[in-house]
Structure 1
Amino acid sequence: MSACNVLSQYGIPYTLTSQHTQRLDSAGFRRDLRDFAATCRVVGGLRNARIGAIGARPAAFKTVRFSEKILGASGISVEPIDLSEILGRIERLQDDDADVAAKIAEMQAYVSTEGIPASALTKMAKLGLVIDRWMKEVDVTVSAVQCWTAMEEYFGVVPCTVMSMMSNENTPSACEVDVMGTISMLALTLASETPSALSTFGGAGVVEIPQLQQLLKFICRKGFEHHVAGKFLHVAGAVHEATTRYLGWDVLWHGE
């Protein structure tokens, strides 16, 4: 209690163990330590996070609008690039480029490409390669992509495979330039150290949520953004602790 008092005097945030006193070799302390490590990963990963915004949000998706200034107050920055610049860089790549061939092999190892035309695979490989290079160039590790309709109409492929591969490597990529969705995915990925999904169609799985109607009303009343990031793991406590106690965000932990 004295230590907590002094930390409070100096305005230093801190996390409590689940029990006031614990043996260092107890299962409870090990669990608390794992949760705190997850909290630290979320705080460290979100502070000064750099997000790549590739293209503009589709006109109808007003639900993904956000404020860069508000994010900046938490140290999060957004690095934008126009979709035309991405497509221009793709045009300069040769089909027989060794890096393009390597990216095709990477895609074929990741997902079945049976029945997919070679030209489409080459386009997707070039897209993935250009995005990879741009993200390294501007030092961003997560992204939000204008995945439709311009990509399909003017380039001829969908970027879903490329974005899925990035997310599977714990570098989340969200649809419709949903930067806030990317942040949600990143928080869950950091907490769990595993890939996190962004549900745009509501088909990730079936779950039982206590007091679901109450939660849905809260979401609707507060006007929350369109997409939902999810995990089939218990990391809500670590994410809530990181975002509220250390980042100072107003976050609801439903069912706490």
Structure 2
Amino acid sequence: MLAATAPFKPAAAAAAPSAARPRGRCAAAVRCAAARPEGPQGAWAKSYLEVKGSTLANQCPILGADAQQGLGDVKPGTFQLDKFCMEPSSIKVKMPGSKEFEPSTLLTRNTYSLDQMTGSVTVKGDGSVALKQQDGIDFAPVTVKIRGGEMVPFMFTVKNLNIEGKADGLTGDFTVPSYRGATFMDPQGRGAASGWEYVKGLAAAGAQEELAAENVKSAAATVGEAAFAIASTDAATGEIAGVFVTRQLADDDLGSKDPATIEIEGIWYGQLS
């Protein structure tokens, strides 16, 4: 579980006419990318050769300047959410024992966005919104480097995302699978569902607890926190976009070490039908 932290929310989401970050600028933890196409198709409207090597496949589409702020003319009801996409623009890390999040440098190639996810969006009569994620490419292994050179791997995900609230502040949680699967074995052949269970010889009784953390592997999932905001919609095309902030735990080496906490900010996009 995440340690208790101050409430967090997407910054200035409600006032943003578009979900896009300023062109020509990049956050510390992401690389500069090619100019993204606007409209409901985005990179999907281009051929394979046009997308190959352009970083477009890692980008979420954005809405044009004619999109309405917030929910706009979206009527109350339950909608199917398709092409749900999340693109990080900032990744910060809080190491165990630290009180502050610090910026990081991305080491992963341009494959860190979540895309083609599906789910449902329910708009209620009082203006509140509920969003649930159900399927799709909902996880991406990512590694960042923090000050001092330490590398921090984690599984960027919003699996089983369940959030609700007003358009400028939907909050909830999601499931974070283990970074390493149950069949992964460490250099000494120990794993959660395979390999040796105990590889060290007899040890002093006082060291049993420390040895247990290394020997007894666990691939149990944890719970992450999410805050979304709807920045703009286009009722004619069914497009919806906004910004998000998530917090989740990083890799814990199958339970053998205390994990860092990851805070991810970025933009999201989807199509309602």
Q: Do the two structures share a fold, i.e. TM-score over 0.5?
A: no
Greater fraction of residues in strand: 2
Q: TM-score, normalised by structure 2?
A: 0.24
